[in-house]
Amino acid sequence: MPGKFALAFPILSLGLLVLATPLEQHEVAPGLIEDPLKGTSNPIPQLIKDILAGVKSAVANNAESKKPLICEDACCVWWNVSEKLTAEFRETTGECNDNARAAIRFGFHDAGSWDEKSTHGGADGSLMMDFGEIDRPENNGLQSIRTLLRSVQSTYNVSYADLAQYAHNHATVTCPRGPRLMVFVGRKDAKKAAPKGLLPDVHDSADNLIALFQRKGISTHDLAALLGAHSSAKQRFVDETKANFSLDTTPGVWDTKFYNDTLQDPKDRPTIFQLPSDKVLSVHSEVKDSWRSFIGQGKFWGEAYGKAYLRVSLLGVKNFNHLVDCTETLPLFRANATVP
């Protein structure tokens, strides 16, 4: 590791001399999020650093949400987007629906196509754009949410990259008990398809999956927290004879049942589908303590998820000084489905 840094620094400083505004460049030196964040102490990058360091929370469950009468800032259009997404993501029962779960997965698949060696990809909207990524087998099932989000994009002219992540955070809080995660906009859209082979394979070993996420800067604790998104999930393609089986007993609610359900004998959970990857990770020595720590601890899990997903939502992003906090435009946190 030290050797790698010694090598990287002269190259990086040469890069800084050549490029007048290195933080604004889309294709830049590879490396984890910490590198570009180091160079700035502006309020938003500082806040992001503090969240990633665990000093501040990414969860804004108690914050205000009041659309101003006269709106003139960068967040204005997101109020409109938010209204539209609420209509698309919420069932009349108050639970979150198939569009919401697909949007949660979509945000991950757009951003997750990145690792520390990538010079492009990450949270850049490429999955929503016309680069053919949607035809990759790992993105099967995301076609209709992509069509929906593209229509939102064309109505409101927001960036693809921001919309993919905004929709993830919106869908999360649309699920009852889902945390209201801080949402930043200002990402740059992709110029080409993301690199291939950087999304997790459901049949891979736990060691390989852990290593894959490590190369994105995601620890085993973060990974355990992120996999809780499967609390809202269904499957269609892993076992087609069980199409639409959910991955926990309550897919319309963002709760910790997934963590317990996954640990049970499948015979005791006949109505759900346990992904092979979730199964092997839940009992892996480096993951199992984190996994169990979330059971029945919704608030603790929400904090961990928020911190981990903030990193996911910024994979490959370098223009931190341009980001704006539009959390205020998200729907309010709901402790349960019946509260509006």
Ligand X SMILES: *[C@@H]1O[C@H](CO)[C@@H](O)[C@H](O)[C@H]1NC(C)=O
Q: Which residues bind ligand X (CB under 6 A)?
A: 77, 80, 98, 156-157, 243-244, 260, 264, 295-296, 335-336, 338-339
Among 85, 102, 193, 194, binds ligand HEM (CB under 6 A): 102
Establish if 108 lies at the interface with ligand HEM (CB under 6 A): yes
Interacting span for ligand HEM (CB under 6 A) from 21-29, 61-69, 235-243, 286-294: 235-243
- What's the angle, vertex CA 201, arms to CA 199 and CA 206, rounded to 5? 110
Interacting span for ligand HEM (CB under 6 A) from 31-39, 178-186, 236-244, 286-294: 236-244
CB atoms within 10 A of CB 32: 15
- Look up 168 and say whether it is catalytic: no
Active-site choice (26, 109, 203, 221): 109
Bridge partners of 235? 245
Among 123, 198, 227, 287, binds ligand HEM (CB under 6 A): 227
**DSSP string for residues in 243-274:** TTEESSS-TTS--THHHHHHHS-GGG-TTB--
Question: Could you tell me the CA-to-CA distances from 300 to 229, 295, 331, 337 in Å, in that order?
Answer: 14, 10, 21, 20
One character per residue 140-159, x = contact with ligand HEM (rule: CB under 6 A)? -x------------------
Tell me how far apart the alpha carbons of residues 25 and 211 are, in angstroms, rounded to a whole number: 28
Q: What is the DSSP letter of 55?
A: S
Establish if 332 lies at the interface with ligand HEM (CB under 6 A): no
**DSSP string for residues in 65-90:** ----SS--STTHHHHHHHHHHHHHHB
Measured from the CB atom, is 54 or 68 closer to ligand X? 68
Q: Residue with the closest Cβ to ligand HEM?
A: 233
Check: CB of residue 32 under 8 Å from CB of residue 5. Answer: no
For ligand HEM, how many residues bind (rule: CB under 6 A)?
23
* Residue 110 assigned ligand-binding role: yes
Q: Using CB under 6 A, which residues numbered 183 to 212 contact ligand HEM?
A: 200, 202, 209
User: What stretch of H or E contains 107?
Assistant: helix 98-112
CB atoms within 10 A of CB 105: 21
Smallest separation (angstroms) from ligand HEM to the CB of 76: 28
Tell me how far apart the alpha carbons of residues 55 and 53 are, in angstroms, rounded to a whole number: 6
Q: Using CB under 6 A, which residues numbered 265 to 284 contact ligand HEM?
A: 275, 277
Which residues define the annotated binding site for heme b?
230
Which residues define the annotated binding site?
110, 122, 124, 126, 230-231, 248, 250, 255
Residues of this chain that bind ligand HEM (CB under 6 A): 101-102, 104-105, 108, 141, 200, 202, 209, 226-227, 229-230, 232-238, 275, 277, 309
Residues tagged active-site = 109
